[in-house]
Amino acid sequence: MDLLNTLVDKGLRRELPTREEALAVLATSDDDVLDVVAAAGKVRRHWFGRRVKLNYLVNLKSGLCPEDCSYCSQRLGSSTGILKYSWLKPDEASKAAAAGLAGGAKRVCLVASGRGPTDRDVDRVAGTIKAIKEQNEGVEVCACLGLLSDGQAERLREAGADAYNHNLNMSEGTYGDITTTHTYADRVDTVNKAHAAGLSACSGLIAGMGETDEDLVDVVFSLRELDPDSVPVNFLIPVEGTPLAKEWNLTPQRCLRILAMVRFVCPDVEVRIAGGREVHLRTMQPLALHLANSIFLGDYLTTEGQAGQADLEMIADAGFVVEGADEVTLPQHRAEVQGGGCGSHGAEGAGCGSHGAEGAGCGAHAGEGAGCGSVCGSHEGAAEAVTVPANEPRTDLVAVRRRGAGTDLAPNA
C-alpha cells in the first residue's frame, strides 16, 4: 500500500513521518499486519541488519517504593506479593550480572526502585559498576535509578556507567491519570540530565494502559524529540494488586503494529522489546524481531520471563544473530555523536531501558514498578498446556519472580 511505501522511504532517510501516517499504521487491520511488519522490517534491517542485542536486568533493590505509578507492582501500598529487599552488595550484583553475560548479554541494566537515588545510593551503585566492569571486560552498564538530582548523572558517568534509563511511559496529556507523585516534566528533565552528562540516554513507553492511538503517537513523537539512543517498548502486564490489574487491552497483532509505528518514527535507534512480550506477543514474538533489534534475556525485575535458552533458539530460528560484544549497536552516524561512551559500544541499551512499568526510574518493565517503567514478563512455561479462547486475558502467563537477585536460587539467564 502507498502508506507503507512512503514510510519505508522516510525511514531509510531518517525522515519523521507525519502524525497522520503514524496513526494510520496503528489503524491498519489484522489482515494487513504481515505487510506492516514486512515494511517496517526493511527499515530495521537497513540500520541494524539481522543483529539482536541482548540485555540483562539486575534488580538492585526491589519494592519499597514511595511512588504511586498505577502500572507498577513496586508502587506505594502494593499488595502484589513481589520480592522485597534492600540494596544488593556489589559482589552479589556482579554475580547476578555474570549469569546474564554468560548467556550472551552485552549490556547489564542496574535497576533500583524508588523515586530517585540519594548521593549515598549513587556511591553504592558506583561501587557495583566498578565490580562488574573489573570482572567482565567490555561489558556495557546502564543505570536505572529514578529521577536524578543535579550532578548525579555526571557521577555515574565517572563511575563507568555507559547509559541511563528513564522512560516517559505515556503521553504528557495522560500522565497525571496514571501517576501523581511526580510529573512528566520530571521524567523529561532526568533524560536531559543523562544526555548532558554524556551518558547514552534510554527512554521508552508502556502500551496497554487504556490509552488511545493518539496517546501512543504523542509519546513516541515526544521520544523522537528527546532523541534517546534506545527506546524500550513495554507492554503492560496487569499484575494483580495494582490499579491496572484489569487492563488487558492488547493482542499480538496490536503489539506488532505498535512496534512498527515506533520503528517508523525512530528508524535508526535501538528499539527494544521490553516487559510483556511473552504475555502479549506470545507465539508471535519471532515476528517482532523484524521490528525491534534488542530484547531482554531471562527474567525481569519482579516477574519471570521466558527461559534464556528459549530466547536464543527463537533468535536463531527466526534467522537473526546475537550481537557480539565487539559490535557497535548504533548506526555510524549515531555512534559518532555518542563518542567513546556507550554509543561506541553499541548504543544504549538495556532496558535499562529497562523499566517500563515496574521498577523505578528504569524503563524496562512493562507492567510494574515505580517511577520506573520496568519490565514484566511471563512464566518460563506452564507445566500443563492451557487452552484459552482467542483474545482472552492470559493471566496464566504472569508469574512473580522467585529466583535470582534477592534469593538463594540461581537466576534465569
Please list the active-site residues.
65, 69, 72, 109, 142, 202, 272
Instruction: Give, in order, the Cα–Cα distances in Å from 282 to each of 110, 250, 295, 309, 397.
Output: 26, 11, 14, 16, 9
Q: Exposure of 45 by Cβ count < 10 A (0-12 exposed, 13-18 middle, 19+ buried)? A: middle
Look at residue 322 and give its three-state secondary structure.
Answer: strand
47, 267 contact by CB (below 8 A): yes
338, 309 contact by CB (below 8 A): no
Give the Cα separation of 66 and 115 in Å (integer): 7
101, 90 contact by CB (below 8 A): no
Instruction: Give, in order, the Cα–Cα distances in Å from 378 to each of 207, 277, 355, 381.
Output: 16, 8, 15, 8
Secondary structure of 44-71 in HEC code, one letter for each residue = HHHHHCCEEEEEEEEEEEECCCCCCCCC
Q: Which residues contact 113 (CB under 8 A, 6 or more apart)?
A: 59, 61, 62, 63, 64, 65, 74, 146, 359, 360, 369, 370, 372
Please count the residues of the chain: 413
Q: Between vectors from CA 117 to CA 232 and to CA 364, what angle results, nearest 5°?
A: 15
Give me the residues paired with residue 272 across strands: 232, 294
Instruction: Give, in order, the Cα–Cα distances in Å from 327 to each of 183, 349, 407.
Output: 37, 13, 33
Q: How far is CA 49 from the centre of its chain?
A: 20
